[in-house]
């Protein structure tokens, strides 16, 4: 189904002056043009039923949700200990007119940090609420902001849970990061006249197809947003197709380009490398998933044949895989140590597993070459801008559909290399480790591309100001 119900409804409202002329033409015998208008009206009438079916399904799935929380709680007690937050139950923070930012996990939190900092500077004194879905995201928020923000998990998309949450945090504005489109959340905010902005918005072709039976609800949800700030022209086109209204949609750029690189990072990296052996080649495989570690370890075996003193830094994406990955490194025959147990690699370490959170940027700064995971398996890739910002040459696999335009732009300017399969990884790493001038050229191109695309945070803050000003003017007029 192409097009959007939300957009069709807007067009029907906005073209009211034409309906009379078209109506008289239809009565005179031209019957076919009437069908789209009738269909649009029928689809609008079906919307309450669609929402009822969606919500009923969510409630019916609640036992499954609780079971899932219990299972995850076996690995991460934080999931189970805070399960009530997922249903809108938490101590009332007694705040009003808060600015609420939602970022699903650690990657989205990292992208949101420059925006949150800018908003806190712009709206000093306003209470801030930051919601996440994962413990890693929540932990990142609490480590960065501490008590300066109120942090809880986002409630499930159940009307009663959403209402309890909104009653407690009383948001003045909602900023939802990237791809989180929850129909009941968006529509409940619209019903309360709470402005909602989708920031750093992206939508892959796979995600667009994946909405399936809830697509009409997603269309209506997007149509209720006050503004959607898309990362790219491709994302904007897909969001338009899903239901974003053109006059409330703009291409703002990717906020990840506005990340801050700590000035002390370079000195820290030099100190760490000195402990490992300052002259030895170092490469990192970051944010890897199941199915990627085996080709990474095979690649490192090839690297060691060429550079016997080379060190691999291996950072799995998810904490539950830290121990299995460390065991796989040892079983492969590598001298292995971990960040949590050993603190640092030594001159004898061949594989160092980064089994902590929030330190990836530091270890990128230590590397001569970076492979960014999620790209050898159909995950869609991860953020290539962190190594690019540090002038570290980037290697990715073919599966980068979540970061298509960013990755393609880096490859186009010679700032990244794309391999066809895991079997090509070892050769690519060896090529870069053996050619220092090539590494410098690629790293400089990556840094230049990173700097060229900055400015999304300032543009997004301007949008927030405009939306809040319009909302204030509307409230005053009412």
- Catalytic residue IDs: 108
Residue carrying the six token digits 């953020």 = 383
Indicate the burial class of 332 (C-beta count within 10 angstroms; 0-12, 13-18, 19 or more): middle
Strand duo 196-201 + 227-230: pairing: parallel
d(CA 367, CA 419): 19
DSSP secondary structure, 203-270, as one string: --HHHHHHTGGGHHHHHHHHHT-SEEEESSHHHHHHHHHHT--GGGEEE---GGGG----TTHHHHHH
**For 155, which DSSP code?**
P
CA of 270: how far to CAs of 277, 286, 348, in Å? 10, 19, 18
Matching residue, tokens 């070892």: 426
Q: Which residues contact 21 (CB under 8 A, 6 or more apart)?
A: none
DSSP H or E run through 97: none
Joined tokens for residue 110:
């990292």
* Helix, strand and coil percent figures for the chain, each rounded to 5: 60, 15, 30
DSSP string, 379-400: T-----HHHHHTT--EEE-S--
Q: How far apart are CA 369 and CA 391, in angstroms?
A: 10
């Amino acid at each position: 189904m192409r097009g959007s119900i939300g957009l069709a409804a807007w067009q029907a409202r906005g073209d009211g002056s034409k309906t009379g002329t078209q109506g008289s033409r239809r009565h005179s015998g031209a019957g076919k043009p009437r069908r789209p208008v009738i269909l649009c009206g029928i689809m609008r009438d079906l919307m309450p039923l669609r929402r009822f079916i969606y919500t009923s399904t969510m409630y019916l799935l609640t036992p499954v949700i609780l079971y899932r929380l219990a299972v995850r709680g076996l690995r991460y007690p934080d999931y189970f200990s805070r399960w009530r937050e997922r249903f809108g139950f938490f101590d009332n923070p007694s705040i009003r007119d808060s600015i609420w930012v939602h970022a699903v996990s650690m990657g989205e939190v990292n992208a949101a940090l420059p925006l949150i900092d800018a908003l806190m500077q712009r709206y000093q004194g306003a209470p801030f609420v930051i919601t996440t879905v994962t413990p890693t995201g929540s932990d990142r928020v609490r480590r960065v902001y501490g008590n300066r923000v109120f942090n809880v998990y986002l409630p499930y998309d159940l009307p009663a849970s959403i209402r309890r949450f909104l009653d407690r945090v009383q948001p003045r504005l909602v900023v939802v990061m990237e791809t989180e489109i929850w129909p009941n959340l968006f529509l409940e905010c619209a019903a309360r006249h709470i402005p909602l902005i989708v920031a750093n918005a992206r939508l892959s072709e796979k995600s667009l197809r994946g909405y399936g039976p809830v697509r009409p609800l997603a269309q209506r949800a997007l149509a209720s947003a006050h503004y959607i700030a898309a990362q790219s022209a491709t994302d904007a086109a897909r969001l338009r197709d899903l239901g974003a209204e053109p006059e409330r949609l703009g291409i703002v750029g990717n906020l990840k380009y506005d990340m801050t690189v700590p000035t002390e990072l370079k000195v820290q990296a030099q100190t760490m490398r000195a402990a490992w052996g300052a002259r030895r080649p170092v490469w990192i495989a970051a944010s890897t998933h199941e199915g990627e570690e085996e080709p990474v370890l095979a690649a490192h075996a090839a690297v060691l044949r060429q550079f016997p003193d080379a060190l691999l830094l291996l950072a799995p994406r998810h904490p539950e895989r830290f121990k299995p990955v460390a065991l796989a490194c040892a079983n492969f025959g590598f001298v292995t140590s971990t960040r949590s147990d050993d603190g640092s690699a030594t001159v004898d370490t061949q594989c160092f597993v980064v089994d902590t959170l929030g330190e990836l940027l530091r270890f990128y700064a230590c590397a001569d070459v970076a492979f960014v995971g999620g790209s050898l398996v159909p995950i869609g890739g991860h953020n290539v801008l962190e190594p690019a910002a540090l002038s570290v040459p980037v290697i990715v696999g073919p599966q980068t559909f979540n970061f298509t335009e960013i990755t393609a732009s880096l490859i186009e300017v010679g700032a990244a290399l794309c391999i066809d399969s895991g079997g090509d990884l070892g050769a690519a790493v060896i090529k870069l480790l053996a050619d220092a001038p090539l590494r410098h050229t690629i790293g400089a191109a990556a840094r230049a591309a990173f700097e060229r695309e900055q400015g999304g945070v300032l543009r997004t803050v301007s949008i927030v100001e405009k939306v809040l000003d319009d909302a204030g003017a509307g409230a005053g007029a009412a």
